[in-house]
């Protein structure tokens, strides 16, 4: 059986993925959706796995094509569906977009797998061989999640690490903008600790990543996992919640297990906005102390930040930048609030959505009319905020802070590389990937802002905070 598995990429990522430098490699780290599907395929199947960011779609005959897609990649996935179906090759879609929007996906693909591939993809393969492919398959999380995945199918040079894995799946929270709860039907699963530890021990790399949505959600499980990982001497990063900032024993166990950085869903500094998204468990007044606790335990903090909530006014961009600096956040992933189809947020925002091109649902485009600002204000404010946070000036100012933290070279090397990678990305392409301002305008602005900052710094000696917020585009 010949199986082709494709992770599609939008035009922007296809363009940069083929470059030698600034090719997005720092942001390429998990092919777990398709590696899992590959592992579940018949043992004698011939599998071709394509990451379209840097690989071309192959010609030739395949018995079936499997395509994964988040919402932002659905339009490209649909183009690929048409491409293969014209050649008489059956196409099966899976992943987040197909699970949350199966009827739409079925207009383009021959079949969809909703939910996890476990239990579903083996049936798809049997049915393909028997010529009895059904339209819908539903997978489920079962105890027999494969213990590992065939990472040899990846071109390891193309990823910041090919060693991504997960210990838990799903999330107990139900944040309105997030797809996870809906995808996993509000359930939360854990893999046996022994399986995870054995998988990690076999990695031929000292560094790996957990892609879990919140690794420490089940505290007892997390403690057992960290105890198992500690003797391996590996280094890793994960997603976690800021709420564990006051849990010293857990942070200490995490540090002993080798955690060097966390991605936290900080979202906003506005408590009302958090409450509106069912995320009031985040408490902005504790952000700074929580970040300091992670730093004390040798972990840098990258924050997921969202702008465009109904409570946000045009002042949110400057205020957020100021608060991020005060909380000593090391890196951010900025998102414009995006009503992903299938989420509660989408349902409540339907009337205000003005752009239904799913390709723009990449967290970088304002696709709806916000309440307290104009749509273009949201777009330009977000563009400004990402550039301001990653301006060379601000990155340089973070370096002494990283150097003074405990944890040795790793603590400053990881966030520095991350900051430089974001700088490279923002510099060349802007937040949207096709920024009309372009590279040279960016450099012109950056240089004049830096000169302005230096002038202000020398004028207001001893009060660096004054020069901090003078940058405007
Ligand atoms: C790693 C990751 C990324 C990586 C790489 C993704 C990749 N190449 O795999 C990067 C950093 C590039 C990324 C980018 C984005 N991401 Co992302 N990402 C993730 C993350 C954290 C882990 C994915 C993963 O490896 N999961 C582990 C695997 C095993 O689980 P899985 O993906 O669910 O796959 C299973 C099933 O879905 C199914 N399946 C999946 N595909 C297929 C295909 C077939 C044929 C079949 C049969 C089954 C099947 O079987 C798999 C095994 O059971 C997820 C959250 C999560 N925990 O899943 C978010 C997530 C997928 N990302 C999300 C989003 C929104 C984005 C961005 C748009 C915004 C952002 N965060 O920056 C961008 C998109 C950029 C772009 N335009 O390309 C959302 C998707 C929501 C949606 N409805 O689309 C998620 C769910 C996060 C969230 N909390 O909402 N992401």
pLDDT tens figures, 311-343: 999 999 999 999 999 999 999 999 999 999 999
User: Is residue 106 within 8 Å of residue 74, measured between CB atoms?
Assistant: no
Question: What is the enclosing helix (H) or strand (E) of 190?
Answer: strand 188-190
pLDDT, position 286: 87
Q: Assess whether the C-beta atom of 188 lies below 6 angstroms from ligand 1.
A: no
Q: Assess whether the C-beta atom of 270 lies below 6 angstroms from ligand 1.
A: no
Query: End-to-end distance of the chain based on CA atoms, in angstroms?
Result: 56
pLDDT, position 439: 53
% of the chain surpassing 70 pLDDT: 91
pLDDT, position 460: 63
CA distance linking residue 224 with residue 387, whole number of Å:
40
When pLDDT is averaged across residues 446-454 and rounded to a whole number, the result is 76
* Closest CA relative to residue 31, chosen from 137, 145, 159: 159
pLDDT, position 464: 42
Q: Assess whether the C-beta atom of 179 lies below 6 angstroms from ligand 1.
A: yes
| Residue 304 CA, closest ligand 1 atom number | 71
Q: Which of 26, 30, 93 to mutate to test the pocket of ligand 1 (most atoms within 8 A of CB)?
A: 30
pLDDT above 60: residue 473: no
Q: Assess whether the C-beta atom of 316 lies below 6 angstroms from ligand 1.
A: no
Q: Which of 211, 267, 367 to mutate to test the pocket of ligand 1 (most atoms within 8 A of CB)?
A: 211
> From ligand 1's centre to the CA of 96, what distance in Å?
7
| Residue 213 CA, closest ligand 1 atom number | 57
Q: Assess whether the C-beta atom of 177 lies below 6 angstroms from ligand 1.
A: no
Highest mean pLDDT among 249-253, 280-284, 401-405: 249-253
The four Cα atoms 307, 236, 244, 333 give a dihedral, to 10 degrees, of 0
325 compared with 275, residue with greater pLDDT: 325
Global pTM? 0.91
CATH, range 163-417: 3.80.30.20
Question: Residue 429 — very low, low, confident or very high, per pLDDT cuts 50/70/90?
Answer: low
> From ligand 1's centre to the CA of 470, what distance in Å?
37
Q: Name residue 306's beta-bridge partners.
A: 335
pLDDT above 90: residue 262: yes
Query: For domain 2-138, which CATH number applies: 1.10.3720.10, 3.40.50.280, 2.60.40.1580, 3.40.190.10?
Result: 3.40.50.280
pLDDT, position 459: 73
Q: Which of 27, 45, 69, 70 to mutate to test the pocket of ligand 1 (most atoms within 8 A of CB)?
A: 70
Take atom 63 of ligand 1 and give the residue whose Cα is closest. 70
Q: Which of 81, 96, 109 to mutate to test the pocket of ligand 1 (most atoms within 8 A of CB)?
A: 96
| Count of Cβ atoms closer than 10 Å to residue 88 Cβ | 7
When pLDDT is averaged across residues 437-450 and rounded to a whole number, the result is 65
Strands 91-94 and 136-138: what pairing? unpaired
User: Is residue 33 within 8 Å of residue 70, measured between CB atoms?
Assistant: no
Which residues, 6 or more positions from 238, have their beta carbon under 8 angstroms from its beta carbon?
209, 210, 212, 215, 259, 262, 263
pLDDT above 70: residue 153: yes
**DSSP letter for each residue of 240-270:** E-GGGGG-HHHHHHHHHTTEEEEEEEEE-S-
pLDDT, position 428: 64
Least confident residue range of 50-54, 70-74, 183-187, 325-329: 183-187
* Closest CA relative to residue 299, chosen from 384, 365, 216: 216
pLDDT, position 446: 66
| Residue 69 CA, closest ligand 1 atom number | 41
- Residues forming CATH 3.40.50.280 domain(s) in the chain: 2-138
Cα four-point dihedral sign 85, 88, 89, 94: positive
> From ligand 1's centre to the CA of 70, what distance in Å?
6
pLDDT above 60: residue 53: yes
pLDDT, position 449: 72
Q: Assess whether the C-beta atom of 41 lies below 6 angstroms from ligand 1.
A: no
Which residues, 6 or more positions from 422, have their beta carbon under 8 angstroms from its beta carbon?
331, 386, 390
Q: Which of 13, 33, 168, 184 to mutate to test the pocket of ligand 1 (most atoms within 8 A of CB)?
A: 33
Residue reference for tokens 């946070």? 389
Q: Assess whether the C-beta atom of 27 lies below 6 angstroms from ligand 1.
A: yes
Mean pLDDT of the chain: 89
Question: Residue 443 — very low, low, confident or very high, per pLDDT cuts 50/70/90?
Answer: low
> From ligand 1's centre to the CA of 396, what distance in Å?
32
Question: Residue 468 — very low, low, confident or very high, per pLDDT cuts 50/70/90?
Answer: very low
Longest pairwise C-alpha distance within the chain: 78
> From ligand 1's centre to the CA of 276, what distance in Å?
25
Q: Assess whether the C-beta atom of 170 lies below 6 angstroms from ligand 1.
A: no
Take atom 44 of ligand 1 and give the residue whose Cα is closest. 94
When pLDDT is averaged across residues 116-137 and rounded to a whole number, the result is 97
* 7: three-class secondary structure by DSSP: strand
Question: Residue 145 — very low, low, confident or very high, per pLDDT cuts 50/70/90?
Answer: confident
> From ligand 1's centre to the CA of 419, what distance in Å?
22
pLDDT, position 63: 98
Q: Assess whether the C-beta atom of 7 lies below 6 angstroms from ligand 1.
A: yes
> From ligand 1's centre to the CA of 299, what distance in Å?
24
> From ligand 1's centre to the CA of 415, what distance in Å?
23
pLDDT, position 307: 96
- Residues forming CATH 3.80.30.20 domain(s) in the chain: 163-417
pLDDT, position 276: 82
* Closest CA relative to residue 372, chosen from 337, 401, 342, 397: 337
């Amino acid at each position: 059986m010949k199986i082709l598995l494709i992770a599609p990429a939008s035009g922007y990522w296809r363009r940069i993925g083929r470059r030698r430098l600034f090719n997005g490699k720092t942001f390429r780290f998990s092919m777990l959706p398709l590696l899992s599907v590959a592992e579940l395929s018949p043992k004698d199947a011939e599998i071709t796995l394509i990451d379209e960011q840097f690989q071309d779609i192959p010609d030739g005959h395949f018995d079936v094509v499997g395509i994964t897609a988040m919402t932002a990649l659905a339009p490209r996935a649909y183009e690929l569906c048409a491409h293969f179906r014209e050649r008489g090759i059956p196409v099966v879609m899976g992943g987040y977009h197909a699970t949350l929007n199966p009827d739409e996906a079925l207009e383009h693909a021959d079949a969809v797998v909703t939910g996890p591939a476990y239990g579903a993809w083996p049936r798809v393969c049997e049915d393909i061989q028997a010529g009895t492919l059904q339209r819908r398959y539903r997978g489920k999380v079962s105890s027999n999640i494969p213990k590992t995945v065939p990472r040899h199918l990846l071109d390891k040079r193309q990823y910041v690490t090919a060693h991504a894995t997960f210990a838990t799946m799903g999330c107990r929270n139900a944040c309105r903008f997030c797809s996870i709860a809906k995808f996993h039907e509000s359930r939360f699963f854990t893999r046996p600790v022994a399986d995870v530890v054995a998988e990690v021990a076999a990695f031929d790399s000292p560094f790996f990543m957990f892609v879990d949505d919140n690794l420490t959600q089940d505290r007892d499980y997390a403690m057992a996992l960290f105890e198992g990982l500690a003797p391996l001497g590996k280094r890793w990063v994960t997603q976690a919640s800021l709420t564990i900032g006051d849990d010293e024993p857990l942070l200490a166990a995490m540090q002993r297990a080798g955690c060097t950085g966390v991605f936290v869903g900080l979202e906003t500094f506005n408590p009302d906005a958090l409450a509106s998204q069912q995320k009031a468990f985040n408490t902005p007044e504790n952000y700074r102390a929580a970040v300091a606790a992670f730093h004390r335990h040798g972990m840098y903090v990258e924050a997921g930040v969202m702008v465009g909530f109904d409570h946000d006014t045009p002042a949110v961009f400057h205020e957020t930048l100021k608060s991020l600096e005060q909380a000593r956040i090391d890196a951010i992933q900025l998102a414009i609030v995006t009503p992903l189809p299938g989420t509660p947020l989408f349902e409540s925002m339907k009337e205000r959505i003005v752009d239904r091109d799913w390709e723009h649902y990449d967290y970088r485009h304002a696709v709806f009319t916000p309440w307290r600002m104009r749509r273009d204000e949201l777009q330009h404010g977000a563009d400004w905020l990402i550039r301001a946070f990653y301006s060379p000036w601000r990155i340089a100012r973070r370096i002494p802070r990283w150097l003074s933290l405990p944890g040795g070279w790793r603590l400053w090397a990881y966030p520095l590389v991350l900051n430089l990678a974001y700088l490279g990305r923002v510099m060349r392409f802007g937040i949207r990937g096709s920024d009309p301002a372009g590279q040279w305008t960016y450099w012109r602005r950056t240089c004049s802002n830096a000169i302005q900052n230096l002038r202000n710094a020398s004028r207001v000696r001893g009060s660096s905070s004054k020069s901090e917020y003078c940058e405007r585009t």
